[in-house]
Amino acid sequence: PDVIIEAQFDDNDAEHGQDHLQDLLTDDIKKLSLDTGEKGKAAGVTGAVHRAKQDDGPKVNDPRLLPDEFLQRTAKVVYILEKKHSRAATGFIKLLADRNSELFKRCAMFSPVDHRVPRVYVPLADCPPDFVTKPETYSQMLFICRIVDWKEDSNFASGQLCKSLGQAGEIEPESEGILTEYGVDFSDFSPEVLECLPQNLPWVISPGELAKRRDLR
């Protein structure tokens, strides 16, 4: 990397003129060269010797000769063990910008609220019937979209609109969207689950249960 040396001088230094300032800079550059050479030796760089006489000295082209701290590790994804994300997102739908394209006649753009999720092409058939004629009506309406595909030659993913949640900013639509994104099942309990609950109401804890349990109320 380029090194910028800033020389600080007072009025006394200024009296000596430009030659004195040039000498200061030359001394600093020599010190920097010596320090760099010592650090290179300490790091154990094999075959790389800092020579003050050669400005264009030999460079190390073999990365195997460099210490690990100078290397950038790279990797390649070969297999997905588990898909952690639910592929569902909450967001808004809007018309495509290019009204003359063929894609405009078939798809709309879904913009997720979570910016970590990519924008998604959704079929117009999944959108409300009057969305094309009245897109401003749905500008603040939350929708749930699920990503189904993402082709290599496309900048955006492909998905399907699952349902309309309601107006953005209201508690129930926002809560339902968060639960759906994280894959939380918030449907009603089945009759089998409800049968496990006490049937005789009001229900109270028996003294025997209180005796063997820790009260965390």
pLDDT at residue 48, as a whole number: 44
Total number of residues shown for the chain: 217
pTM of the model: 0.55
Is the C-alpha dihedral spanning 33, 38, 40, 45 positive or negative? positive
Domain assignment present for 119: yes
pLDDT at residue 8, as a whole number: 47
Distance CA 175, CA 166 (A): 11
Domain assignment present for 112: yes
Best CA proximity match to 111, nearest among 121, 126, 124: 121
Distance CA 123, CA 120 (A): 10
Consecutive 10-residue runs of the chain (217 residues): their mean pLDDT?
48 51 64 56 48 49 81 89 88 91 91 93 93 91 94 91 91 92 90 89 89 89
Domain assignment present for 174: yes
Q: What are the strands, taking DSSP E only, across the chain?
A: 88-94, 107-112, 120-123, 141-149, 157-167
Domain assignment present for 216: no
Domain assignment present for 196: no
Domain assignment present for 137: yes
Q: Assign residue 96 a region: left if phi > 0, alpha if psi is -120 to 50, beta otherwise?
A: beta
Residue 36: phi and psi, rounded to 5, are: -65, -40
Q: How many domains does the chain have?
A: 1
Q: Are 108 and 131 in contact (CB under 8 A)?
A: yes
Distance CA 31, CA 39 (A): 12
pLDDT at residue 57, as a whole number: 43
Domain assignment present for 166: yes
- The domain that holds 99 is classified in CATH as 2.40.50.700
Residue numbers of the domain that contains 118: 88-182
Domain assignment present for 54: no
